[in-house]
A and B are shown apart, each in its own frame.
Chain A
Amino acid sequence: MKTAVHTPANRSASGYERLKIRPVWLEFRKLFMPKRVGLALLVLLLVGMWLYPFRAMYPGAAFKDWDTAVAVQMEADYGLRIDEAEFNRFKQSLAPKIAEADAYIRSTPAFARAGLDSYERYVKRDRMINGGTLPLNRIVEAGPAADLFAELQASRNWIEYYEMGTANTLGMNEAEKKRASEVESRDWVSVLPPNFVGMYSSWNLLNRLAVTAMLITAMLVMPIQIGDRRAGLGELQASSKAGITGLFRMKTAAALWAGTLAAGTLLVVLLLAYRFSGAWTLMGADINGKAGGLFWYDLSFLQYVLATYAAVFVLCWMTALLTVFFSSVAPNYVVLAGAVALTLILFYESDYLLNPLLNHMLGVGLGRSPLRTPIALGILLLASAALAYIAWKRETKRVRW
């Protein structure tokens, strides 16, 4: 130990003034230990089933999302809004493909044995409860005309969707009926296929994204208090300029950053998935359907994604605050992991929490006010903040570290 340490008696306080961000950054960086990041990536892969709706991304025609593919082609031909004239042109454009399907049916003995000689009769028979077309469907799916028949089916879905008429307003209140009639009175229909919004806004994407982001947030944030406490840093931190309160604020800010990062990363992945699924051109299409899929606002699909994805950010912040609380009060990692896991399971498994919050957000006809989800999320966030506040009060009363 050298004894000639330069220790000036007086110093400028300027070095202490520029604070705030760097300590928060250092706390944030501590959350990204290599092992933990590896585990988070593993979770991301394991829970990565949320990419399943992007069937177009998977190889093999059997997985191709023909509904979306047809809509993408329609957007290229007619634009994002389909009026009646364009709809008729679309119907007419199917004639050559139907003729091709007719030719395939006539040349296939199994269809002849079933007494079918045209695509139209095949479709009618297929709709009958005991039509006996199952063996024929298998032959089609295994044969060279599989793509043709799938495309025709998707086109017919779209035509039915267009021709379905009015939305079912049974049970709707006056405001909902008014909104339904507003959408109905349009002289155009959005090009989006019937299940496109539902694929995102119900069980498939948004919920899985939310759960994945919450899980990753919890995993990253879990050691934020208990880690330093177990490492024995508590007294040094409490006696630093930041003190217990400052440290708690920094750690909470770092936890919120981690939640923002988890939600933000998954948002980028989601948008990239849309970008490379071939459906990007549909992002500007209106989300309101003529016969269902009614929403309170006229939003493009991209606007809807961004507006509703805000819920994932809020849920991640809520998870971050809850995890800060658990990390502060849990005596050890086992209790902490158990508490976090139980909370997440409660959210994911219970039909009373995550699903009503996220499914068909801003949707009309479900008896929900458009403000219901934001208010519910706000209450959850406030409750989590209150728990974090309790954790802070406990930390300030700590006499042993």
Chain B
Amino acid sequence: MLIVRAASRRYGDDPALERLDLEFQNGVYGLLAPNGAGKTTLLKMLAGLLPPSEGEILYDGEPLADLDEKYRMKLGYLPQRFGYYPGDTPLKYMQYLAAIKGMNRKEASERSELLLDAVALGEAKRRKMKTFSGGMIQRVGIAQALLNDPRVLILDEPTAGLDPKERGRFRSLLTQLGRDRIVILSTHVVSDVESAANEIILLKDGRVFAKDKPEGICLMLAGRVYETKIGDAEADAFRERYAILAERGEPDGWRMRFVSEAESALPQWQAVQPTLEDVFLYVYRDAEGRAPERMLFPREPAGSGKRGESV
């Protein structure tokens, strides 16, 4: 079990994370937060790369600092940005990383080949990595994290660069892996964790905002998410009044998905089941009530004849 106890992290005087309390058992944990919310800092702390400024992190009851290489032997880590020598082949790269993970030559070789096959890079294993696409590089990163068959697998934005098909397969892989180990992945792509994660952790302002099963997280907005159709004339006022989760332009107005704090809904509003993405957008909306900008297409100027689409 991995336990974060009252852990804080500061960079100089700037607090990045404040008094986090978390517990991780075998299973898949999705760490959801927009960029800059402290996901990477938390993952680095869990990987033992950053010591907490205060508090402690324990694995099986012992502080990571005391466990040192005993913990790292059980750790698989994919950083948000990881490097490689462009002239290296993935096989050579994996074998190098296997060696510093303490694996002997035979095991390193077998495991590297197996994992490169598993991430569909078996045929490219002797090609120089400088010829690889971003998705292929990311798959090498995922493979290297699994080299030592880790008990704790920490993946920072693992699906960046993967195409939809690879993302689907990656989610299946996560589900398998999470059966007998701790898998923690950070993302700002909700669909990455919606189906695969046993628990979701939402970070906000350097603190844990929520930690629950995906269904439990969705319950946060139960009975408050609606969809309705709004004409062009009322659209701006509606946007000002409600927390808009998504909107789609239609020939005669806008279809809005929004959160209402009011106790009673208007007849034209249709109550819908909240999704994880609804919660994400609602929790991380800005002070004016707008969802994170990147989640919405920009609105077209009035009269342009073309309207934006929802996510």
Contacts and interface: CB of A to CB of B under 8 A. Distances in A.
A237 B172 CA distance: 28
Contact of B169 (A3, A6, A233): A3
Residue of B49, B50, B107, B139 with most chain A CB atoms under a 10 A cut-off:
B49
Interface in B18-51: 44, 47-50
B102 interface: yes
Contact of B176 (A7, A33, A228): A7
A232 B117 contact: no
Contacts of A19: 102
A240 interface: yes
A219 to B, nearest CB: 18
A17 B68 CA distance: 16
Contact of A3 (B77, B101, B114, B176): B176
B84 A232 contact: yes
B101 A240 contact: yes
A250 interface: yes
A367 interface: no
Interface residues of A, number: 39
Nearest to B169: A1
A374 to B, nearest CB: 36
Interface string A361-381: 000000000000000000000
Given A15-B107, A233-B82, A242 B176 contact: no
A113 interface: no
A4 B105 CA distance: 24
B17 interface: no
Contacts of B107: 15
A37 interface: no
B169 A240 contact: no
A22 interface: yes
Nearest to B177: A7
Contacts of A399: 11, 49-50
Contacts of B47: 235, 239
B115 interface: yes
A241 B115 contact: no
Residue of A15, A16, A243 with most chain B CB atoms under a 10 A cut-off:
A15
A11 B69 contact: no
B101 A2 contact: no
B99 A26 contact: yes
Nearest to B141: A236
B183 to A, nearest CB: 11
Contacts of B120: 1-2
A241 B72 contact: yes
Contact of A240 (B72, B85, B142, B170): B72
A4 B172 CA distance: 9
Contacts of A247: 100
A293 interface: no
A238 interface: yes
B176 A237 contact: no
B115 A5 contact: yes
A23 B99 contact: yes
A235 to B, nearest CB: 4
A9 interface: yes
Interface string A241-253: 1110011001000
A9 B181 contact: yes
Contacts of A4: 118
Given A1-B120, A3-B169, A236-B82, A242 B114 contact: no
Interface stretch (B144-152, B205-213, B236-244, B245-253): B144-152
Nearest to A24: B99
A241 B68 CA distance: 9
A2 B169 contact: yes
B105 A22 contact: yes
B292 interface: no
Interface in A16-48: 16-19, 22-23, 26, 33
Contacts of B177: 5, 7
A129 interface: no
Contacts of B48: 239
Contacts of A228: 83
8 contacts: A2-B120, A15-B103, A17-B102, A26-B99, A232-B84, A235-B47, A242-B69, A246-B100
Interface of A: 1-9, 11, 13, 15-19, 22-23, 26, 33, 228, 230-243, 246-247, 250, 399
Interface of B: 11, 44, 47-50, 68-69, 72-73, 75, 77, 79, 81-85, 87, 95-97, 99-105, 107, 114-115, 117-120, 139, 142, 144, 146, 148-149, 166, 169-170, 172-173, 176-177, 180-181
Nearest first, the 5 closest Cβ-Cβ pairs linking A and B are A232-B83, A1-B169, A16-B102, A241-B102, A9-B180
Given A236-B83, A242-B69, A246-B100, 7 more contacts: A1-B169, A1-B170, A22-B99, A238-B49, A240-B97, A241-B101, A242-B100
